[in-house]
């Protein structure tokens, strides 16, 4: 790390906004970045599931699962509904989050079509994500190195 980068990090940690950056709320970001709220980028999807789809889960550690987990792998007692039509159908690229645990990181991007709990929010990327030069969205995907 160069001395210049170390100085910039120190300035940011001390609340000083370096040249080429701006303060947005409590964060300091590059001045050429645009900020959006989640509902500026996504439209809520509320499509019902069916028996042919696997049930996906959302974890604060790994995001959205690739496939259906066995009950013993869920880590807690989960009661699944026999009526699959109450679940929400999700598609690859959708963002899914647990409203009650999103602040802890229970959010992720779907990689395989499936369905999720009706308690989750699922959202479709809009034209600001597809068809634009948007390069950075702070939503974690499923796998971490």
Q: What pLDDT digit, counting tens, does each position of 53-83 carry?
A: 888 878 777 777 775 655 555 555 556 566 6
Number of neighbours of residue 134 by Cβ within 10 angstroms: 13
**42-45, strands of its sheet edge to edge:** 42-45, 120-125, 95-98, 107-109
Phi, psi angles (nearest 5°) of residue 84 = -70, -15
Query: What element of type H or E holds 40?
Result: helix 38-41
Establish how many alpha carbons lie within 13 A of residue 64's alpha carbon, considering only the half-sphere containing its beta carbon. 30
Residue 130 or 13, more confident: 13
Which pLDDT belongs to residue 145? 42
**Displacement of CA 57 from its chain's centroid (Å):** 13
Which pLDDT belongs to residue 133? 43
Tokens coding 23: 């303060």
Phi, psi angles (nearest 5°) of residue 124 = -100, 130
Whether 1 has a pLDDT exceeding 80, the answer reads yes
Which pLDDT belongs to residue 92? 86
Residues 84-114, buried b or exposed e (16+ Cβ, 10 A)?
beebbbbeeebbbbbeeeeeebbbbbbbbeb
User: Which of these ranges, 29-38, 51-60, 79-88, 112-121, has the smallest mean pLDDT?
Assistant: 79-88
Whether 89 has a pLDDT exceeding 90, the answer reads yes
Contact 124, 43 (CB under 8 A): yes
């Amino acid at each position: 790390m160069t001395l210049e980068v170390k100085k910039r990090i120190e300035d940011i940690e001390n609340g000083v906004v370096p040249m080429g950056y701006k303060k947005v709320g409590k964060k300091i970001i590059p001045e050429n970045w645009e900020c959006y709220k989640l509902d500026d980028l996504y439209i809520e999807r509320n499509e019902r599931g069916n028996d042919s789809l696997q049930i996906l889960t959302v974890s604060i550690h790994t995001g959205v699962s690739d496939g259906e987990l066995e009950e013993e792998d869920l880590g807690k007692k989960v009661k699944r509904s026999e009526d699959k039509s109450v679940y929400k159908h999700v598609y690859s690229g959708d963002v899914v989050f647990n409203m009650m645990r999103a602040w802890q990181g229970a959010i992720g991007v779907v990689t395989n079509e499936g369905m999720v709990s009706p308690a989750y929010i699922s959202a479709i990327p809009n034209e600001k994500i597809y068809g634009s030069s948007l390069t950075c969205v702070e939503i974690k995907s499923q796998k971490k190195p």
